[in-house]
């Protein structure tokens, strides 16, 4: 199927069958799509935390808009961004890139100097807005990959960042949670969204051609 | 090809062949992928402005990091978010959704009351951060769709929002530019990124499994 067919197939599932688990092979593909996502300057300022441990999932539920989804899905993918840009993080990415491309280690010095001049002069909060935006590209591609595999999913912002960050100890990685993606197989009886028509802004209201 | 193959195929093109134009049919597919993107509460708080008029493209160039890309690509897709959430905008989306699903017009009243209580009590700037994040999901899917069609593209934040907003008169639509996507066919001699190895954070550093 094409991407457009996959996007028409998917919907934000509202109830999962807790007895059905997604295979490691398929989870790996979904995470691979997120890993291949482009990001501003190629910094990839985030990680994905894949939570399948039921006890840990249960501890994330408090404060969630759809606690049953969180509890019953197979895996919760947590998109967690760097708490801010730092010189070390920027240097690490570009030294690795230079090494992978067999370029001199200082090949990107001018470019990283420019990035540092921008980001290190911003407040951490402003950094984090920019970082969080990059994670949404990866979220979109992970949702598309799940759809290609005919695996159900739900993107979610309705959760307690504080609880997720604490339970997953994200601070020790210098990360903060941005969004979640529930992955699993729908409970077809309980998923009230499934029979609903997919509604999007009509094309004529969505695009302006110049 | 699979999504993962498409994502491995694509790269951020650094030079376009100005003589090659993308067909309307293909542009429509790329915009359709963006239109089908999920968004928070389904509000789709953005539009895509597709600019192929050369004179208009030339006027957007000032302040761009890669002015030649902007000038020489076939189409510039501008992802432009609502300047803020309003009661009218929220009501409009949910009345349309109710109508498309043959539900009573007030079916989503409780839900929209909750959304308004959150968003209308935030500053416009905070609204816009949330809105801008949603556009990145659509940007990611549009990039994936271009790759599926073997059409070249470049996601771009390096441009003057002020100039883009003014030239495209986005204020009159209550929109503000967020990001750009250049679409076209690479100039294979000049696109210095093409021969470079794609580098991403290694899987073991990208994912934490719990």
What whole-number distance in Å separates Cα of residue A14 and Cα of residue A187? 9
Q: Considering chain B, what is the average pLDDT of its residues? A: 96
User: What is the residue range of B197's domain?
Assistant: 3-84+122-206
Region B47-61: mean pLDDT is 97
* Residues whose CB is less than 8 angstroms from the CB of residue B38 and which lie 6 or more positions away in sequence, other chains included: A10, A12, A140, A143, A155, B137
The reply to whether B102 and B138 lie within a common domain is no
Cα dihedral B38, A35, B156, A137, rounded to 10, equals 10
- On the question of pLDDT at B185 being above 90, the answer is yes
What is the C-alpha end-to-end distance of chain A, expressed in Å?
31
> DSSP readout, A93-144?
HHHHHHHHTT--TTTTHHHHHHHHHHHTTS-HHHHHHHHHHHHHHHHHHHHH
What whole-number distance in Å separates Cα of residue B4 and Cα of residue A29? 8
B44/A200 touch (CB, cutoff 8 Å), yes or no: yes
| Chain B residues inside the 8 Å CB shell of A100 | 197, 199
What whole-number distance in Å separates Cα of residue B26 and Cα of residue A80? 34
* Residues whose CB is less than 8 angstroms from the CB of residue B24 and which lie 6 or more positions away in sequence, other chains included: none
CATH number, position A74: 3.40.109.10
The reply to whether A64 and A97 lie within a common domain is no
The reply to whether A63 and A115 lie within a common domain is no
Q: What are phi and psi of A76, to 5 degrees?
A: -105, 120
Burial class of residue B100 (count of CB atoms within 10 Å of its CB; 0-12, 13-18, 19+): middle
Which residues 74-103 of A are in CB contact (within 8 Å) with B?
Answer: 93, 96-97, 100-101
The reply to whether A134 and A201 lie within a common domain is yes
Q: What is the pLDDT of residues A167-204, one digit of tens each?
A: 999 999 999 999 999 999 999 999 999 899 999 999 99
Query: What pTM was computed for the model?
Result: 0.97
Region B63-71: mean pLDDT is 92
Q: B63 falls in which pLDDT band (50, 70, 90)?
A: confident
- Asked if B22 contacts B74 with a C-beta cutoff of 8 angstroms, the reply is yes
The reply to whether B104 and B65 lie within a common domain is no
B123 contact A CB<8A: no
Q: A151 falls in which pLDDT band (50, 70, 90)?
A: very high
The reply to whether B117 and B127 lie within a common domain is no
What whole-number distance in Å separates Cα of residue A156 and Cα of residue B28? 28
Q: Considering chain A, what is the average pLDDT of its residues? A: 96
The reply to whether A70 and A13 lie within a common domain is yes
The reply to whether A52 and A113 lie within a common domain is no
What whole-number distance in Å separates Cα of residue A66 and Cα of residue A57? 13
- Asked if B16 contacts B152 with a C-beta cutoff of 8 angstroms, the reply is yes
The reply to whether B137 and B174 lie within a common domain is yes
What pLDDT, on the 0 to 100 scale, is given for residue B155? Answer: 98
The reply to whether B95 and B46 lie within a common domain is no
B48/A206 touch (CB, cutoff 8 Å), yes or no: yes
| Chain A residues inside the 8 Å CB shell of B209 | 49-50, 52
Q: A63 falls in which pLDDT band (50, 70, 90)?
A: confident
Please say which residue of B99, B121, B143 terminates a domain. B121
Q: What is the pLDDT of residues A16-60, one digit of tens each?
A: 999 999 999 999 999 999 999 999 999 999 999 999 999 999 999
| Chain A residues inside the 8 Å CB shell of B97 | 199
B32-65 exposure pattern, b = at least 16 Cβ within 10 A, e = fewer:
bbbbbbbbbbebbbbbbbbbbeeeebeebbeebe
The reply to whether A102 and A61 lie within a common domain is no
- Asked if A56 contacts A29 with a C-beta cutoff of 8 angstroms, the reply is no
Q: What is the pLDDT of residues B22-35, one digit of tens each?
A: 999 999 999 999 99
Region B159-174: mean pLDDT is 97
How many domains does chain A fold into? 2
Cα dihedral B83, B88, B90, B95, rounded to 10, equals -150
Task: Measure in Å the smallest separation between the Cα of B80 and chain A Cα atoms.
Answer: 10
ipTM of the prediction: 0.96
What pLDDT, on the 0 to 100 scale, is given for residue B1? Answer: 83
B208 contact A CB<8A: yes
The reply to whether A36 and A47 lie within a common domain is yes
């Amino acid at each position: 199927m094409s991407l457009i067919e996959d996007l028409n197939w998917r919907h934000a599932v509202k109830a999962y069958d807790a007895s059905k688990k997604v295979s490691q092979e398929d989870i790996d593909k979904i995470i691979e799509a997120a890993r291949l996502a482009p990001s501003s300057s190629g910094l990839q300022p985030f990680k994905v935390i894949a939570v399948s441990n039921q006890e840990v999932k249960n501890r994330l539920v408090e404060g969630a808009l759809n606690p049953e989804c969180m509890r019953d899905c197979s895996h919760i993918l947590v998109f967690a961004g760097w708490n801010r840009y730092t010189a070390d993080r920027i240097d690490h990415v570009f030294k690795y890139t230079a090494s992978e491309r067999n370029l001199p280690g200082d090949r990107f010095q001018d470019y990283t100097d420019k990035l540092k001049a921008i980001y290190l002069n911003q407040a951490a909060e402003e950094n984090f807005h920019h970082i969080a935006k990059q994670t949404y590209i990866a979220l979109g591609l992970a949702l598309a990959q799940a759809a290609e595999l005919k695996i159900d999913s739900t993107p979610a912002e309705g959760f307690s960042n504080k609880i997720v960050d604490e339970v997953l100890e994200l601070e020790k990685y210098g990360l903060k949670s941005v969004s979640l993606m529930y992955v699993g197989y729908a409970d077809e009886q309980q998923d009230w969204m499934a029979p609903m028509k997919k509604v999007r802004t009509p094309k004529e209201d969505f695009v302006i051609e110049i």
